[in-house]
Amino acid sequence: MPNPKITYIGAGSSVFAARVITDLVATPGLDGGTFALVDLDAERLDLSRRITEKVVKVSGKDWEVQTSTDREELLPGTDYLINSIEVAGLACVEPDYEIPLKYGVDQCIGDTIGPGGIFKALRTGPDWLAIVADTQRLAPAAVVMNYTNPMSILTLAADRTTDLSVVGLCHSVQGTSRLLAGFLDVPYEELEWRCAGINHNAWFTKLAHDGQDLYPRLRELAVDPDFYEQEPVRFEAMLHLGAFVTESSGHFSEYVPYFRKRRDLLEKYTRPGYLGESGFYAHNWPYWREASARHVREMLHGDVPLEIDRGHEYASYIVEAIELDRPLEIYGNVSNGGLIENLPPGCVEVACRVDGQGLHPCQFGPLPEQLAALNRSHMAVHELVVQALLERDRDKAKLALMLDPLTAAVCSLEEISQLFDEMWAAERPYLAAFE
């Protein structure tokens, strides 16, 4: 009987941790094992311990729950490591947004690419690489699943420094494929699709039903105002570039130079919330964080029902496939060893077969060139940031920002240099690894 040890680093991210743990507990055939929860914040860690113990109790399964603020205490024997750490998020979410805005760089989310994403990588990367090194030393057989953004940069950095099996996981592929099935009024299990690219910029190169191409129908829907308004940026990109992208309109608008570089374009293409609102993440994330903790407390107190159901995050499916040898396909962020032929070595998002022998990324072939070109522009940024992390090289991080598509569309080189220096000064207490 499988008895896996699953170590969760950053378990204080209470609602997300509870979601992933509930998925694992709800997995048929995974009837016991160990959850080892780690977080530096003892109070948030205790909240995660309590909700995990309640999930286990309600399920009636035989999972042991361990906790520690010291990962080295719990890493030995780990079969699967799940990472969702947040480094200096509360302290830096405002300068990540406000300082670039002074220079005209308007971000909606700003945690994966652009000034906000690059500085999040610089703050997070050193801690993440230390976690990876400790895992290599103490649990060399562990499968490492990274959920922390910036996904591509952190997953690539880990892969460059370890021979562990590392995969970056997101929910944009499975979420968008379901969205498209709804748009097209096709049962999800009958939708035929292919998708590949980089995280948050992967492209649906095939959409079909019973062998019939559905893109003509989707283009018809895209010019219907009722549909267009649901995803204005993504539909606009599809109409001109030929494929629907995996990330929300607001976040995707930061990846390309077309939608946020002028006030008139922001007014034309962006909408409130995840559809492109300026500073949406910066203005709301601190409150979401507290609301997350409050929601967990409500589940603990019985004010909100606790349901042991399984969601669509990939972590539990990976564990199920490996532990029980139940082959399946997920979409993961992995190193590109020729998987996408016209993208460089770096981190790509592709289909991966998972079975009792582990994860096996699948060959995709070439992307349409216009899509590959957009991906390559970001992979150059990823490469420079990874080099900056591995070499502790501040100048390479600045060069990365100079190549960022949105920042370069708005600012001169001199302005980008000044923007970077101002952000560095504001966040310097959290960049000690570069001193």
Active-site positions read 171
CA distance 334 to 155: 7
Q: Tally Cβ neighbours within 10 Å of residue 235.
A: 22
| 409 phi, psi to nearest 5 deg | -70, -20
Residues 73 and 70: their CA atoms lie apart, in Å, by 6
What's the one-letter identity of residue 249? S
With both helix axes pointing from N to C terminus, report the angle between 172-184 and 215-222 in degrees, rounded to the nearest 10. 80
| Angular region, 86: left φ>0, alpha ψ -120 to 50, beta rest | beta
Measured distance CA(256)–CA(405) in Å, rounded? 6
- β-pair type (347-355, 328-335): antiparallel
Total Cβ atoms within 10 A of residue 180: 18
Distance of CA 285 to the CA centre of its chain: 16
User: Residue 282 to residues 120, 326, 334: CA-CA distances in angstroms?
Assistant: 13, 41, 29
Q: Check if the beta carbon of residue 38 is closer than 8 Å to that of residue 9.
A: yes
330 - beta bridge partners?
Answer: 352
Q: Are 388 and 400 in contact (CB under 8 A)?
A: yes
Beta strands in 174-243 (DSSP E): 192-198, 201-209, 212-213
- The residue length of the chain stands at 435
CA 321/CA 329 separation, integer angstroms: 9
